[in-house]
Structure 1
Amino acid sequence: MASSEYIQIIGDILSGGQSKAKTLKIVEFIGDDPIKFEALMYYFFHDEWRWNQWAAWPLGNIGKAHPALIKPYFKQFVECLKNPSHDAVARNILRILEDFNIPEDYTGPLFDLAFNYLLDTKKPIALRVFSMSVLFNIAKPYPELLAELKVAIEAFLPHGSAGFKSRGKKIIGKINKII
């Protein structure tokens, strides 16, 4: 269980908004310590959406650097993607998951969630782009899913942003090498 001291330290750093300096300070403080990471998760899953938002950026950085810390929270992350309190929450979860070895029990639900993000043109580009990578990684063993993903990406390429087009073309190139 996270100590109240760690919760207080992280809360003091997070309070009042986010910045790169605060994010780096939290990332350095937590390192690969699961107890300190649990204190960050206290804020990431907090009832108040601002705490979720403020904790999301450090979570994204730590999750990429220390994926083992994410494993105990995987189910909660998938649940959180169903109805995130803020786009930053979903963005940083997807950012972590784009390089994560998804447990088989979660591939179906996560594929559906990520596919819905990809198809929703009202979602921020970052959510849609990270979703592409998550979808590709889940679909790799399944040619029929890769084909479905390719069709979906191609449908949005002509009107996509530069970031969407760039990632979309890379994913389509990877798909073409497999199917």
Structure 2
Amino acid sequence: MNLQEQLEQVTAARVSRYNNALYILKHPELFEELSILCFSSDKKMATKASWVFEFVCKEKIALLEPYCDYYIEHLPRVTHDSIKRPLSRILLVLLEKLKKDNSITKYLNKSQEQQIIEMSFDWLIGDEKVAIKCYCMRILFLLGKNYDWVHPELKLILEQNIAAHSPAYKAAAKDILKKMHL
């Protein structure tokens, strides 16, 4: 069974996504194909691939590092929420690891950082689901440490929008505002 056939069997059930991720972890040579399928024009395939991709990357984010260029280049083109949510979460996990290892500049150039910042602001102020917005505000907080204009802009957006959003958005926004101390 090839990877696409296997992904067709994936369901939204956590155990299904996890078991398929374990298969990829046992066969890391399939990771590149999985990452490409996350950006497939077949929405159903891209959704299932991104579900599995999230679980794989949460277990072993280092698999993504050689494919950062491809991932960052294609991420802003994603339009479906079911794909944006896991992929934005993985971007946050990647940035947290790179920040912790002090290796962001090893894997991301300034142009890519700016592309991520632009996309994150677009998704934060756009008509996205709350989880995506929460990942984006955390991404912006991390990258904003390297760009002096990002935190003030993020603060302004969060303060303007906090009253109109869900409790999850409010909690994440309050946490970010507290961390920024602006």
Match in the other structure for 2:34: 40
% of aligned pairs identical?
24
Residue 42 of structure 1 deviates from its aligned partner by: 4.2
1:89-100 mapped onto 2 (5 Å cutoff): 89-99=83-93, 100=95
Match in the other structure for 1:15: 8
Match in the other structure for 1:76: 70
Residue 12 of structure 1 deviates from its aligned partner by: 3.1
Unaligned runs of 5+ in 1: none
Q: Is residue 32–residue 66 contact of structure 1 (8 Å, CA) maintained in 2? A: no
RMSD (CA atoms): 2.0
Residue 16 of structure 1 deviates from its aligned partner by: 4.8
User: If the length of structure 2 is used for normalisation, what is the TM-score?
Assistant: 0.83
- 3-state DSSP class of the match of 1:27? helix
- Matched length: 169
CA distance in 2, matches of 1:164, 1:150: 14
Q: Is residue 14–residue 22 contact of structure 1 (8 Å, CA) maintained in 2? A: no
1:94-133 mapped onto 2 (5 Å cutoff): 94-99=88-93, 100=95, 101=98, 102=104, 103-105=108-110, 106-120=112-126, 122-133=127-138
The partner residue of 2:59 within 30, 52, 65 is: 65
The partner residue of 2:25 within 21, 25, 31 is: 31
Match in the other structure for 1:157: 162
Match in the other structure for 2:101: none
- 3-state DSSP class of the match of 2:56? helix
- 3-state DSSP class of the match of 2:40? coil
User: If the length of structure 1 is used for normalisation, what is the TM-score?
Assistant: 0.84
Aligned AA (1:30): I
- 3-state DSSP class of the match of 2:149? helix
Query: After TM superposition, what 4+ stretches of structure 1 lie above 4 angstroms from structure 2?
Result: none
Relative distance call for 1:43 and 1:125 in structure 2 (3 A) is same
1:142-153 mapped onto 2 (5 Å cutoff): 142-153=147-158
Aligned AA (1:170): D
CA distance in 1, matches of 2:143, 2:137: 10
Q: Is residue 60–residue 93 contact of structure 1 (8 Å, CA) maintained in 2? A: yes
